[in-house]
A and B are shown apart, each in its own frame.
Chain A
Amino acid sequence: MADYLRDHHDKIVGRWSELVLAQVRGRTSLDEVRRELADLYSLIVRVLSDADDHAAGELRAALDELSRSRARDGYTPRETAIGMLALKEAVYEFVADTAELVPEFLVLSRMIDDLGLRTFEAYSAAREQIISDQSTSMLELSTPVVRLWEGIIAVPLVGTLDSARAQLVMEKLLDELVATSADHAVIDITGVPTVDTEVAQHLLKTAAAVRLLGAECTISGIRPQVAQTIVSLGIEFGDIATKANLADALALALRQAGMKVVPVA
């Protein structure tokens, strides 16, 4: 089989490339597909001919790399897997006439199935990686602590507040409070689309922790819909001050700090 595949290298790779290209039309060129597949093909031939021990490892590495780059380029799982599975069809078209090669074709077919599964594994691993990278960078992006005034800091929250983010916000806010020895913190939730009991729980915990440090905490940016949801869910913010917008919260904080803003004479 290995000898047969080696002898018909150009024809099979040509047919294989055509089949693959038919599936991923428009995303890549025939030459490119051909180059990628020719590499894989020679590795497969080396594995089949049992010539050396490294071939299997190299084949797996090449396949993983190819699948990863497919995942990054936005190919679908189907388009990625077909890249491998189409080889079966390509080979079969040539082998069908040669009866003595059929048993060996079964072995090859099983190997291709394995490799196809492997592409899928590598593909999903790469996708998972992309997702986790993105959520990490989103976490970093989304929690700036800004200084509004001497002794007054604020966290403008944008996006959904889940447990991981709430934890991060709390830690950053508290660290910043201690670092700047600010005695007023404003949590602005203008950018938080919905406030449910879980989000409210996180906000209350953060406010309680801020108080434990000896600072005051105000929650600002309560939109009309959010206010209605909060009331209908029966959430009590207790004695934590809430304000409609950041400006009101800043005014309150300034007043508590014994300052007031007056027009220039």
Chain B
Amino acid sequence: MERVPILKIGRTLFVSIQIELQDDTVVRLQEDLADELSATGARGVVIDITAVEIVDSFIGRMLSMIGSISRLFDAETVIVGMRPAVAITLTELGLSLNGVRTALNAEKGLELLNGKA
């Protein structure tokens, strides 16, 4: 099973998903992120999904859950670089990614977190 690396930049965790997401990859990512958040006390999580072309309802829900988990560690989650097609799919599925913020690209996502801090 492929693992998504988690990078720590300052007080932010940066996750760039470069592979097609499978259900177990996302579950693993959620576990890893929880461990990392608790270990580092990071205040923000940026998840870059520029390379992700396909999402389903499960992955959409998992992204929401990652947001809720981060909040428990007092960290804000920003999903960045969503493709238009992915956004359309998610709205058609009726998912609005509650508990997660979104930004157009990684730069804006980081700005959003820093503006908060």
Contact = CB atoms under 8 A, between A and B. Distances in A.
B104 A212 contact: no
B11 interface: no
Given A174-B88, A178-B84, 4 more contacts: A170-B88, A181-B105, A211-B102, A214-B102
A179 to B, nearest CB: 10
Task: State the majority secondary structure of interface residues on B.
Answer: mixed
Interface of B: 78-80, 82-84, 86-88, 90-92, 96-97, 101-105, 108-109
A214 B108 contact: yes
A182 B83 CA distance: 14
A177 B78 CA distance: 18
B78 to A, nearest CB: 8
Given A212-B87, A212-B97, A183 B82 contact: no
A82 B106 CA distance: 68
Interface in A185-224: 205, 208-215
A175 to B, nearest CB: 5
B104 A174 contact: no
23 contacts: A170-B88, A171-B84, A174-B84, A174-B88, A177-B104, A178-B104, A181-B105, A183-B104, A183-B108, A205-B91, A209-B88, A211-B96, A211-B102, A212-B82, A212-B87, A212-B97, A212-B102, A213-B82, A213-B84, A214-B78, A214-B79, A214-B101, A214-B102
Contact of B92 (A178, A183, A205, A215): A205
Contacts of A214: 78-80, 82, 101-104, 108-109
Nearest to B101: A214
Query: Which 9 A-B pairs give the minimum distances between C-beta atoms?
Result: A174-B84, A214-B102, A214-B103, A212-B87, A209-B87, A208-B91, A209-B91, A214-B104, A205-B91
Interface residues of A, number: 18
A209 B105 contact: no
B88 A181 contact: no
Q: Which of A181, A210, A213 has the most CB of B within 10 A?
A: A213
Interface string A80-100: 000000000000000000000
Nearest to B92: A205
A178 B108 CA distance: 12
B41 to A, nearest CB: 25
A174 B87 contact: yes
Contact of A213 (B92, B96, B102): B102
Contacts of B86: 212
Contacts of A177: 84, 104
Contacts of A212: 82, 86-87, 90-91, 96-97, 102
